Amino acid sequence: MNKILVWDLPVRLGHWLMVAGFALAWVTGESERWRLVHVFAGSTVMAVAAYRLLWGLIGSRHARFADFVRGPVQALGYLRQLLHRSPPHYTGHNPAAGWAILLLLALALASGASGWATYQELGGDWIEEAHELFAGLMLIIVGVHLLGVLLGSVAHRENLVWSMVTGRKQGRPEEALTRPGLLAALSMLAWTGLAVWWLAR
Amino acid sequence: MNVPLLPMLLLAGAATAWSATPRELAQSYTAEASRLIPGFQGSAQRGAEFYARRFAVSSHLPACSACHTDSPARIGRHAVTGKTIQPLSPSAVATRFSDPAKVEKWFRRNCTEVLGRECSAAEKADFIAFATEGT
């Protein structure tokens, strides 16, 4: 197998924006001094997650949900094989990663929406508590995701973190993306900027 | 009193949306404080001094009054975001100091940031005595 382009620019840029946004939002979550930073960081996570939903429908080959979302039986089967150190190699996301991605996107939107409602004082104390619950769950899924990336990287002798930087991963030549997605990445940045400006008002 | 009332209130507050009156909350903080300071009684006067004191640990949030104005009965303004903050006084907002878990959460957050440490039970009892004065 060769190194081919698997992750397009919106997927990679969106991934690292969510990483930075979530990390920043987490460390500023207890502080009033950094409340604005928290709101901007959380809004970024939410805006990117919303774009990713659309990109999962109309995006490039390996970005589409249809390419990597599988049933729970397949996801559990993959995890079992991963524990026995004989997981099959997927060019795109494996079935377990697919579930982590769906959960992370759902929790990003849920924590973002409840955080926004708290900031705009649209609801009672329960929305604030729901926000903390969603963010806490998201941290747990982030941990599971990181563990999966570590195990997958070892099992396939493939640096999956670096793949998310360069977009290049093991795969057959015919599975390679033909375009890097520069325009889509720019439109994602424009959307994120606009959405964050609106959400953080 | 031997029963640790405040932890029990907090436990109940976490499990259900426990509601208490500001007086009950102040009493449980007073009971906790009196274990360290025999004969402790909450004082609105000390609470007022505490409320106005410039701790200056944070340049943006030097004192309670930086966001909550000079009076807990008035509408406040967040010193960083500019968002309005509903008054702290139960006379203005009836639900203030009625949820032990919420009160503990915001004392913990705001004391850590404004004082650079958590508040003592005595400070909390004084604070509530001041904020509920005249109600």
CATH number for B52: 1.10.760.10
Range scoring the smallest mean pLDDT among A45-49, B4-8, B73-77, B107-111: B4-8
* Parent domain of B121: 5-131
Task: Report if pTM > 0.95.
Answer: no
Write down the pLDDT at residue B1: 41
CB contact under 8 A, A30 and B83: no
Fold of A2-199: Fumarate Reductase Cytochrome B subunit (1.20.950)
Chain B residues whose CB is inside 8 A of the A31 CB are 109, 113
Cβ contacts of A30 on chain B, cutoff 8 Å = 109, 112
Of B60, B99, B109, the CB nearest to A30: B109
The domain locations on chain A are 2-199
| Chain A residues 79-138 with CB within 8 Å of chain B | 119, 121, 125
Q: What is the mean pLDDT of chain B?
A: 89
Nearest CA in chain A to B58: A33
Cβ separation A36–B80 shorter than 8 A:
yes
Pairing state between β B76-77 and A2-5: unpaired
How many CB atoms sit inside 10 A of residue A37's CB? 15
Which percentage of chain A shows pLDDT scores above 90?
94
**Which residues, at least 6 apart from B107, have a Cβ–Cβ distance to it below 8 Å?**
B118, B119, B124, B127
Arithmetic mean of pLDDT, B83-105 = 94
**CA pair distance B79, B113, nearest whole angstrom:** 13
List of residues 6+ apart from B2 with CB closer than 8 A: none
Task: Please check whether residue A101 is in contact with residue A93, taking contact to mean a CB–CB distance below 8 angstroms.
Answer: yes
Give the per-residue pLDDT at B18: 65
Query: Which is more confidently placed, B18 or A6?
Result: A6
Distance CA B109, CA A91 (A): 46
Q: How far is B41 from chain A (nearest CA, A)?
A: 31
A53 touches chain B (CB under 8 A): no
Partner-chain contact B109 A125, CB within 8 Å: no
Residues of B with CB under 8 A from a CB of A: 58, 60-61, 67, 78-81, 83, 99, 102, 109-110, 112-113
pLDDT of residue A176: 95
Per-residue confidence (pLDDT) for residue B4, from 0 to 100:
56
How far is it, in rounded angstroms, from Cα A185 to Cα A177?
Answer: 15
- Asked if A13 and A172 touch (Cβ cutoff 8 Å), the reply is no
Roughly what angle, to the nearest 10 degrees, separates helices A9-27 and A35-58?
150
The domain tally of chain B equals: 1
CA nearest to A36 within chain B: B81
pLDDT surpassing 80 at residue B14 = no
Q: What is the pLDDT of residue B135?
A: 60
CA-to-CA separations, A41 to A45, A49, A137, A177, A200, in angstroms, rounded: 6, 13, 18, 30, 10
Q: Which residue out of B98, B105, B111 would a mutagenesis test of the A interface target, given it has the greatest number of A Cβ atoms within 10 Å? A: B105
Asked if A32 has any chain B CB less than 8 Å from its own CB, the reply is yes
pLDDT grade, residue B128 (50/70/90)? very high
Element (H, E) at A90: none
C-alpha torsion angle, residues B42, B12, A25, A32 (rounded to 10): -20
Answer whether A35 sits within 8 Å of B81, measured CB to CB: yes
Best of B113, B114, B115, B118 to mutate (most A CBs within 10 Å, chain A): B113
Nearest Cα of chain B lies from the Cα of A64 at a distance, in angstroms, of 38
Alpha-carbon span A82 to A1, nearest angstrom: 20
Q: Is the pLDDT of residue B8 over 80?
A: no
Q: What is the 3-state secondary structure (H, E, C) of chain B?
A: CCCCHHHHHHHHHHHCCCCCCHHHHHHHHHHHHHHHCCCCCCCHHHHHHHHHCCCCCCCCCCCCHHHHCCCCCCCEECCCCCCEECCCCCCCCCCCCCCHHHHHHHHHHHHHHHCCCCCCHHHHHHHHHHHCCCC
Q: What is residue A98's predicted lDDT score, i.e. its pLDDT?
A: 96
Give residue B45's pLDDT band: very low, low, confident or very high (50, 70, 90).
very high
List chain A residues with pLDDT less than 50.
none
Q: Please give the backbone phi and psi of residue A2, each rounded to the nearest 5 degrees, phi first.
A: -110, 170
Give the Cα separation of A91 and A175 in Å (integer): 8
Rounded to a whole number of angstroms, the distance from the CA of A20 to the nearest CA of chain B is: 22
